[in-house]
Structures are given as C-alpha cells and as structure tokens.
Chain A
Amino acid sequence: MNKGVAITGMGIISAIGNNVAENYDALINEKKGITRVDHIETIQREEIMVGEIKFTNDELIAQLNLSPENNYSRTAMLGVIAAKEAIADAGINDIKKFKTGIVSGTSVGGMDMTEKYYYQYLTEKEPQKYIESHHAGDSTQKIAEQLGIEESLVTTISTACSSAANAIMLGARLIKSGKLDRVVVGGADCLSKFTINGFKTLMILSDTYNTPFDENRKGLNLGEAAAFLVLESDEVIKAENKKVLAYVKGYGNANDAFHQTASSDNGDGATLAMEKALKVAGIKPSEIDYINAHGTATGNNDLSEGRAILRIFGNEMPEFSSTKAFTGHTLAAAGAIEAVYSVLALQNNVIFPNLNFKTPMKEFSMIPQTELKKKELNTVLSNSFGFGGNCSAVIFSKEA
C-alpha cells in the first residue's frame, strides 16, 4: 500500500445544503435538491429540472460582505463560501504559516455574467466590471484573495466534468512532491443559460428527476455547487497535531480518445482511470468498499461507466451509487462534491442511496445501492468523467 495525502478540512454548498452538515443531513434523509430553475430566466424552464442553490446573487453578495462594486461571478461566490468553510473546518487561522496554494476546477467560470451582459458590455459602463471576471481563472484568483493566499501557486483546471477530481489529483501530487505544504483543492460551477442550452442541444437533459443506472433513464439534471478540501503534508499534520478526516489514497486520469462528447461503449478511459487509481493507492479492486459513481443518468454515461466498473470489479462488486439524483450534475464541481460525500461516507460508515432507481439496465445486472446502508468503510472510489474523453478516478481512505 502506498501512503495517502491527508484531508484535514472540507466545505461545500450545493442544492442540498449550504455546508457539510446540511449536505450530510440531506443525504441520509433522502432529501433531494432537484426543482425547476428559479434564478435563471430561460424558455427551457418547464422542460428541465435542476439542482439549484436557492440564494440570489444579491443574497450571496450580502453573505460574503462584498462591496457593491464587486465583480464576482456566481461561480466565484459559491467557491468562496465552500473554500472558507473548508479552511475553518481544517482549523486554519494563519494561512501564511505554511506554504499554501489552491487548485480549483471550473468549466462555467464567469459565463453567467458574460451571457447576461454580452452586448451591454459594448455600450454600458456599469456591467463592464464583469468583463475581467469571464475567464476561468478569475474565480480561483478571487477565492485565493478571500483566503489570504498570496505569492503562491494558484491555478485552475478545466477538463469539463472531471475538473475538480483532477484538481484533487494535482493537489495530492503537489503535496507529495513537496512543492506545497498545504493545498486547497476543489471546484465551483454555477448554473448558466450557456450550459442549460448546451446540454439541451445534446438532448441529454431529463425533463424530470434524474434516475442514475435505471433502464428508463432520460438524461441528467444540471446542478450548481462548489466544494473544497484542504490537503496537508505529513509535516504540517505532525507540527500542528492535526486531526485527519481521510486520505487521498489514489488517483488516475486517462483519456477515452473515442469521441468529443460520448464515452466509448466499453468505457476504456474510465477503466484505465480506475486501474491507475488502484495502482497509485497500491490496493486491489476487492479492497474498495463503496463506489461513488459518476452516474449522470444519461444513456451513454451509465452504460459506459457500468461496463468499466464491471471490467474492474467483475464478481467482487462493492456497493455503488450515484448521488447526482440529489444534487444534479454539478459539472466541474462534481468531483469535489462527491469527494466530500466520499469522506462523509468514510467518516460515518454509511453508503448513500442512489435515488429514483426502479428498473435494472438490460445490458447488465448491476444494481445500485438504493437505500441508505450502514457498512464499515475503509476505502471509497469516486469517478468523474467529462467531455473530451476526460476520465478520472480518485480513491479516499480512512487510514493513510
């Protein structure tokens, strides 16, 4: 077994809760956060369901105490809320005491403001402040500023829906290589007309509650969320006598190299990513106790991922579930959201249910865990796959 990287804090805001405790409460009480979209004016409203955070931008600005002149995109504000909770949870009072960086994943970035003021930018002075908030790195830059991270490594990954998983992966490698002592890793994405209409053109949005791994699945629900985890080196853990929540034990990224958006029939990329993660962790598939699947509830993903899981686990299939029926698919943030859920699963020895499942898929006999289940968990595998064939798997463990 190889040594993992310690997680000492986490923070989250999603459609099912504004912090870690609320998210856990919703998960164990089967309270999903899927509704019609309220804060975005779209003609698609009646045709889609979303996992929306029910704060308006003004409410978020007030919560964060931002000045009226601020140019925060919604992505940045959600990110700050989650990152601040993670830092507080890790008991960090002096961010400068150790060399601290941040790696965030986002795909939407500041697109919410760009699509709102696209043409106004050319003529109206007031919204022009948001022009500089468009690029993906802006939200991360702002989160760093809010946390007081200066003169350090601050970067952003955008590999579509695997972005945050990849941010966790890079963070772990930065700690292992000694480049940083402490890294805040995660991701943030807000809902936008851009993604709503984009996924709509792909005809993979469900008009009702998403049903991962169900034969009659109709597609995904988009969601918005942010989540961050604090990773710290062994030296910091020792020096500060830190409590460790769990460990990033293994990770792997591979490319399906099959199609721009669709996953290969046999899930080649997903299989490779899981194999690599197991190798980095130095464990066998049989040592995985629970899989938090990507499970977006699109026809293509669930079949491809299911087959990949079968290829790895065969007859030794652990319980698996997708939590996207709770939160919707939160795109670039998904890997971090589900990392938090994986750690919660480990901490509480509980497997979260795959809601809305009724009929097994005809292609295989895999049945997700549909009810909350108590089980002693030591290792959890979390999958995240994205456009461009990007496939990632991260393994979390209770012991180093």
Chain B
Amino acid sequence: MSELKEELKAKIIEQLNLEDVAVADIADDDALFGDGLGLDSIDALELIVMLDKDYGIRLSDPKEGRKIFESVQVMADYIQEHRTK
C-alpha cells in the first residue's frame, strides 16, 4: 500500500509537471485540489487517463474523479480495490 502511494506521488509530480514539488512534500492525506496541492480540473482529466492507462480503471464522468482524487490516500484505496492491471 505504501509503495502504491509513493508511486502515485511520483506519477502525479511527473504527469502534472509539478517541477517544484518533491515526493516527500506530499503527505498521504494532503488535499490534491484547491488549497492543498492546487490541482485543477485539467489535472483531474490527466489523472483520469493515468487511472485508465496504468491501473485499468475507466471513469466516464469527470465528476467521479473529484472524489477519488481527494488525496493520495483516497486514490490509493480506490485503485487497490478497483484495479484491473
């Protein structure tokens, strides 16, 4: 589980081009959107593609993403439960 969380943090940083952020800067429960990491709706779409490509989870409604991407912890829990690859 903690491995998956670290993996997610690294992917978020790389995929979203967060140049000034390091894996250690993101706590498991940090909010990813809004006041936390400051991600926005375009980032949510990027993360939806990542879920599909890397974990075989397809979301059809971007609104679902908002809940899943609340924090790295929530994301990891969701992926653990639903991943197909």
A and B: partners? yes
Chain B residues numbered 35-75 whose CB sits less than 8 Å from any CB in chain A = 40-42, 45, 48-49, 60-62
Nearest residue (CB) in B for A201 is B45
**Smallest beta-carbon distance A32→chain B, Å:** 24
Count CB-based A-B contacts (< 8 Å): 13
Residues of B within 8 A of A259 (CB): 40-41
Asked if B42 contacts A261 (CB within 8 A), the reply is yes
Asked if B41 contacts A203 (CB within 8 A), the reply is no
Asked if A260 contacts B42 (CB within 8 A), the reply is yes
Asked if A203 contacts B48 (CB within 8 A), the reply is yes
Q: State which of B41, B49, B60, B61 has its C-beta within 8 Å of the C-beta of A262.
A: B41
A196-218 contact mask (Cβ, 8 Å, vs B): 1 or 0: 00000111000000000000000
**Smallest beta-carbon distance A20→chain B, Å:** 39
**Interface hub of A202, A203, A261 (most chain B Cβ within 10 A):** A203
Residues of A within 8 A of B40 (CB): 259
Asked if A203 contacts B45 (CB within 8 A), the reply is yes
Residues of B within 8 A of A202 (CB): 45
Residues of B within 8 A of A203 (CB): 45, 48, 60-62
A259 CA to B42 CA, complexed, in Å: 10
A260 CA to B43 CA, complexed, in Å: 12
Residues of B within 8 A of A260 (CB): 42
**Smallest beta-carbon distance A219→chain B, Å:** 11
Chain B residues numbered 14-41 whose CB sits less than 8 Å from any CB in chain A = 40-41
A254-275 contact mask (Cβ, 8 Å, vs B): 1 or 0: 0000011110000000000000
A261 CA to B45 CA, complexed, in Å: 12
Nearest residue (CB) in A for B59 is A203
Nearest residue (CB) in B for A207 is B60
**Smallest beta-carbon distance B79→chain A, Å:** 20
Chain A residues numbered 181-236 whose CB sits less than 8 Å from any CB in chain B = 201-203
**Interface hub of B42, B60, B61 (most chain A Cβ within 10 A):** B42
Asked if B41 contacts A201 (CB within 8 A), the reply is no
Residues of A within 8 A of B42 (CB): 260-261
Residues of A within 8 A of B48 (CB): 203
**Smallest beta-carbon distance B38→chain A, Å:** 14
A261 CA to B40 CA, complexed, in Å: 11
A202 CA to B61 CA, complexed, in Å: 11
A261 CA to B43 CA, complexed, in Å: 12
A270 CA to B45 CA, complexed, in Å: 25
A259 CA to B41 CA, complexed, in Å: 10
A262 CA to B60 CA, complexed, in Å: 19
Nearest residue (CB) in B for A300 is B41
A203 CA to B58 CA, complexed, in Å: 12
A238 CA to B50 CA, complexed, in Å: 63
Chain A residues numbered 250-301 whose CB sits less than 8 Å from any CB in chain B = 259-262
A201 CA to B41 CA, complexed, in Å: 12
A261 CA to B44 CA, complexed, in Å: 13
A259 CA to B60 CA, complexed, in Å: 22
Nearest residue (CB) in B for A262 is B41
**Smallest beta-carbon distance A301→chain B, Å:** 14
Nearest residue (CB) in A for B63 is A299
Residues of A within 8 A of B49 (CB): 201
Nearest residue (CB) in B for A203 is B62
Residues of A within 8 A of B61 (CB): 203
**Smallest beta-carbon distance B66→chain A, Å:** 13
**Smallest beta-carbon distance B43→chain A, Å:** 11
Nearest residue (CB) in B for A204 is B62
Residues of B within 8 A of A201 (CB): 45, 49
A203 CA to B44 CA, complexed, in Å: 11
Nearest residue (CB) in B for A260 is B42
Nearest residue (CB) in A for B60 is A203
Nearest residue (CB) in A for B44 is A203
Residues of A within 8 A of B41 (CB): 259, 262
A259 CA to B43 CA, complexed, in Å: 13
A262 CA to B62 CA, complexed, in Å: 13
**Smallest beta-carbon distance B23→chain A, Å:** 26
Task: Please give the residue numbers on chain A whose beta carbons come within 8 Å of chain B beta carbons, in ascending order.
Answer: 201-203, 259-262
Task: Please give the residue numbers on chain B whose beta carbons come within 8 Å of chain A beta carbons, in ascending order.
Answer: 40-42, 45, 48-49, 60-62
Q: 10 closest A-B pairs (Cβ-Cβ)?
A: A203-B62, A262-B41, A201-B45, A203-B45, A202-B45, A260-B42, A261-B42, A201-B49, A203-B48, A259-B41
13 contacts between A and B (CB under 8 A): A201-B45, A201-B49, A202-B45, A203-B45, A203-B48, A203-B60, A203-B61, A203-B62, A259-B40, A259-B41, A260-B42, A261-B42, A262-B41
